[in-house]
Amino acid sequence: MKQKSEFTILERAIQTVDGFSRVFNTLQQQMILRGQSPSTLNNYIRQVASISLHFGQLPELISEEEINEYLTALAQRPDSPSRSQFKHAVYGLRYYFRHVGLSARAVELPSLKKELKLPVILNRSELRELFKAPRLLKHRIILTLVYSAGLRSHETINLKISDIDFERKTIHIRQSKYKKDRVVPLSDYMAKGLRQYLLVEHPQVWLFNGKDPDGSYSSKGLGWVFSEALKKTSIQKDVSIHSLRHSYATHLLEEGLNIVTIKELLGHAHIATTMIYLHVAQCPLMPVHSPLDTLYAQKSWNAPDMK
């Protein structure tokens, strides 16, 4: 029998808060029907569960003043994770109140200003240092693959061996964000590393075997691989596994690839999302000029007589 400390927040809320089990099942069904990410449900419902446990009842039975006091305390905590918890608590409560038909209470919750932060980019020297840091070949391959193809964490752990086409030099990313497939190039250098990894590790279905019930790797495990490798380097930047995706996009932009193509490679729904990399890319500056000057730049072409 589990001790109280061993129960997750969700398990404790389901067992101790009257009506929470029903609410949890309904929210779960709604997110599946709408095709929303399971991680979205987990982030939202955990915060709703925390609030329900704190007050011992469902959110609609808690006064507006009490909820505001709870959110204020969460926002004022000095540790950085509290900001993320505060954001998920607000979003989770909004989703919850709309689900139970209390849209007015959802509107009354505090607004969240979008933080306009530029992505932190690892330079090429830092990437080389990072990729050689792990002792295990599997971990070196994982980190290098994320950067080489600009992958999100969940895309990496959902890759199957069959998604790697060595002959066509492609990686097929299936049903990612926005329920879209996309195909990205497989680097020759990456293909060589993957072939060596497959010979050594012998994975069966998933490209990276893990400890999840279905045999796949976990996002938490992926983050751990990155953080452990980072500790062995001299890198002082505040980065995460997602910084490899940011670095991929920025380096492609710096190497002259057009931003529309980069948008497709990243699987972004809107070009505005991709344009953030214009602010961090170190692209060579071209002097202001008229395109007419380059139209006749080649000597084989004769400019019209302008007299």
Q: Could you list the active site residues?
A: 152, 177, 242, 245, 268, 277
- Measured between alpha carbons, how far is 62 from 52 in angstroms, rounded to an integer? 9
- Measured between alpha carbons, how far is 128 from 132 in angstroms, rounded to an integer? 6
- Measured between alpha carbons, how far is 68 from 17 in angstroms, rounded to an integer? 20
Query: Are the CB atoms for 228 and 134 separated by under 8 Å?
Result: yes
Radius of gyration of the chain (CA): 24
Sign of the Cα torsion 271, 274, 276, 279 reads negative
CA distance readout (Å), 247 to 20, 25, 50, 250: 42, 39, 36, 5
Q: Count of CB atoms within 10 A of residue 133's CB?
A: 18
Please enumerate in sequence order all residues whose Cβ is within 8 A of that of 32, keeping only pairs 6 or more positions apart, or say none.
Answer: none
14: helix, coil or strand? Answer: helix
